[in-house]
Amino acid sequence: MDKNKFGGSWTELKIEVLETYAKQFLTVFKNQPAQKLLYFDGFAGSGDIEVENIKEENSHIIEGAAIKILKIDKPRSFDMYYFVEKKKSLANSLEKKIKEHFPKKDAYVQAKDCNEKLIALAKFLRSDKGKSFKVLGFIDPKGMQLEWSSLEVLRGLPIDLWVLNPTSGTNRVLVRKGEIDESWLKRLELFLGMNRVDIKNHFYSRRPTLFGDLDIIKENDPINKLHELYASRIAGNIFKYVSNPKILRNNSGAPLFHFFMATNSEIALRIANSVVNPKLGF
């Protein structure tokens, strides 16, 4: 059985947040059957995830987000599901599960790159057929695979987009003295939508040494700075709003990812924030 080998307890929390929001999203439209709803997953996997338990030195299998979302029938279902998974074996495994367990769902699986399919999604939503859809999107790459240009094409569209921001992994690329490998600099530029000079100026400062030279120093709290930069560039430039992040941590409590939602709807923003922090309420 092909399955994802990616995750820990934070994976289950991420899926729980998404599933909770999806049910709220569907509730908003439960009395609007004419409103077409589409679910888009850019890194869909196989439908199963192997989650490691470091303390007990074992692992267990959980249902991935794709299966969790497909199972939701109340208060209503999505009208269409579009799953993207670049790895062919995982895409085939997911497609098999859907045909076996959800034969009546209007679901599609594509073994393609997420960036390519986000551009196709934007084109579809601007077409005569696609204008009738509202979208819940879920993008959870392991690293910096999501390119800024792919987000830009979504500007102004009716999408609530949950994004997993790989802040810890990105921080590891930002080496202390700023001597970032050329291949990683190119990836940072594609991911952040910034040129390398601006990236370095944001995360590094030059300070005089005891002997009058200038030393390049990495700024403090880079993980949170990474998310603040990313979210602030999305808000107002591509989407109107971004939610508060759910910080996903490893078993030691160190932050791994910032999980947040971008939207053009103020109501959706309030719902997302209530899901991220239930104490706030709606």
Contact 248, 14 (CB under 8 A): yes
- Reduced to 3 states (helix: H, G, I; strand: E, B; else coil), residue 142 is coil
CA distances to 38, 187, 193, 196 from 219, rounded to whole Å, are: 41, 20, 20, 16
63-94 pLDDT, tens digit each: 999 999 999 999 999 999 999 999 999 999 99
**Contacts by residues 116-120 (CB-CB < 8 Å, ≥ 24 positions apart):** 117/40, 117/42, 117/82, 117/84, 118/42, 118/150, 118/151, 118/153, 118/154, 119/150, 119/153
Cα distances (angstroms) measured from residue 251 to each of 9, 16, 53, 96: 8, 18, 9, 33
pLDDT above 50: residue 214: no
Look over the chain and give the mean of its residue pLDDT values, rounded to a whole number: 90
Q: What is the pLDDT of residues 146-181, one digit of tens each?
A: 999 999 999 999 999 999 999 999 999 888 777 889
For the stretch 219-241, pLDDT in tens is 678 899 999 999 999 998 999 99
What is the chain's length? 282
Q: 3-state DSSP: the chain helix, strand, coil percent, rounded to 5?
A: 40, 25, 35
State how beta strands 159-165 and 133-139 pair: parallel
Q: Which two tokens stand for residue 107?
A: 């679901």
> Which domains are seen in the chain, by residue range?
9-174+240-280 (3.40.50.150)
